[in-house]
Amino acid sequence: MADAAQVEIEEANVPVEESPQPKSSRRKLILVAAALLLLLGASGGVAWYLMEDSNEAPEVQGSKGKAAPKAREKGPEKSRKPSVFLNLETFTVNLQSETGERFLQTTIVFELTDDKTADAIKAQMPVIRSRLLLLFSSKSPGELNTPQGKEQLAEEIIAEARKHFSSKPPEQALLQVHFNSFVIQ
């Protein structure tokens, strides 16, 4: 029995070798860390590019070939208030057509500088809607089917709307006209 106890003690004194960590887990950790650093660097670069791009608006050619003013100028104009949008009710009109009855159904939105201008336009809305209905009904489907025709119509809408309010100089108050829907049948 003494021999059995001695064998047990000898076995207990045998140092247990620790198995080394597999090298693949260290490699995975390094790859994950590198991927995260690469992702952070790429997202920072994209954010920087977008911030730089938004500060420099390109010059856009107007429909008459003249260079339009830049949308955002550096300096005092940079802190311009956000635009105010005024949705107009849907217009449905008969178009001038030689091949039968053709209709235009469109919804437009005015982009304005401020609420004061929106209130001025709302006060004149019956007159503006009437003038726009006459404008739309004077058009033919062929004139309105092209992108250039729609751009020309937008310019004509701006000209008509600017005639009927005077809260600010017209070029500054009514910025743009946007079409939310445009259907010709």
Q: How far apart are CA 119 and CA 134, in angstroms?
A: 23
CATH of 82-184, one of 3.10.270.10, 3.30.479.30, 1.10.3720.10, 3.40.50.720: 3.30.479.30
Predicted TM-score (pTM) above 0.85: no
Instruction: Say what percent of the chain tops pLDDT 90.
Output: 29
Region 127-135: mean pLDDT is: 92
CA distances to 7, 71, 77, 79 from 54, in Å: 80, 10, 14, 13
pLDDT of residue 45: 77
Q: Is the pLDDT of residue 49 over 90?
A: no
Q: How far apart are CA 139 and CA 96, in angstroms?
A: 6
Query: Is 149 within 8 Å of 108 (Cβ atoms)?
Result: no
CA distances to 83, 99, 113, 166 from 80, in Å: 9, 48, 9, 20
Tokens 């937008």 sit on residue: 154
**Chain segment 96-114, per-residue pLDDT in tens:** 888 888 999 999 999 998 8
CB atoms within 10 A of CB 85: 14
Q: Is the pLDDT of residue 44 over 50?
A: yes
**What type of residue sits at position 108?**
I
Please, what is the end-to-end C-alpha distance for the chain in angstroms?
107
Residue 180 confidence class, pLDDT cut points 50, 70, 90: very high
Residue 41 confidence class, pLDDT cut points 50, 70, 90: confident
**What type of residue sits at position 138?**
S
Residue 154 confidence class, pLDDT cut points 50, 70, 90: very high
